């Protein structure tokens, strides 16, 4: 199974460097057909940040959902990723914020603290003022 750095996924999605985008899409497609592609949660978080810099929120969430559903792609702790995506669709914070919460709660955390106003409204999250 192959793992790809965030910049490979970003090129494949954004097509901001056409020659690199072609190489990225080709390599990812080949890997999906062979042994599959593994996506660490860190890459998922970084990718959501990168895409958010270029796309609107709905498009980013749709892209993350599409990645989670792509045949030949295995996302680390997929259940946590799905919960973070659903929380982001319902809440105001981004996928990366909710990934932080889901990972922390799964590890036994009781509360998340943040300065982020939007994330601070989430269950189990306290905003520092």
Q: What is the residue-level pLDDT of the chain in tens, covering all 129 positions?
A: 999 999 999 999 999 999 999 999 999 999 999 999 999 999 999 999 999 999 999 999 999 999 999 999 999 999 999 999 999 999 999 999 999 999 999 999 999 999 999 999 999 999 999
The Cα angle at residue 46 between residues 51 and 80, in degrees rounded to 5: 105
CA distance 59 to 82: 16
CA distance 67 to 8: 13
Locate the domains of the chain by residue range: 2-76, 92-129
Q: Are strands 37-39 and 73-75 parallel, antiparallel or unpaired?
A: parallel
pTM over 0.75? The answer is: yes
């Amino acid at each position: 199974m192959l793992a790809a750095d965030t910049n490979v996924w970003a090129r494949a999605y954004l097509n901001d460097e056409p020659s690199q985008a072609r190489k990225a899409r080709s390599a990812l497609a080949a890997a999906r057909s062979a042994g599959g592609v593994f996506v660490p949660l860190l890459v998922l978080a970084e990718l959501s940040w990168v895409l958010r810099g270029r796309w609107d929120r709905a498009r980013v969430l749709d892209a993350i959902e599409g990645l989670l559903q792509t045949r030949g792609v295995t996302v680390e702790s997929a259940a946590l990723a799905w919960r973070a995506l659903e929380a982001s669709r319902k809440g105001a914070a981004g996928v990366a914020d909710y990934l932080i919460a889901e990972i922390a709660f799964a590890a036994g955390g009781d509360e998340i603290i943040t300065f982020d106003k939007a994330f601070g409204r989430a269950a189990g999250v306290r905003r520092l003022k």
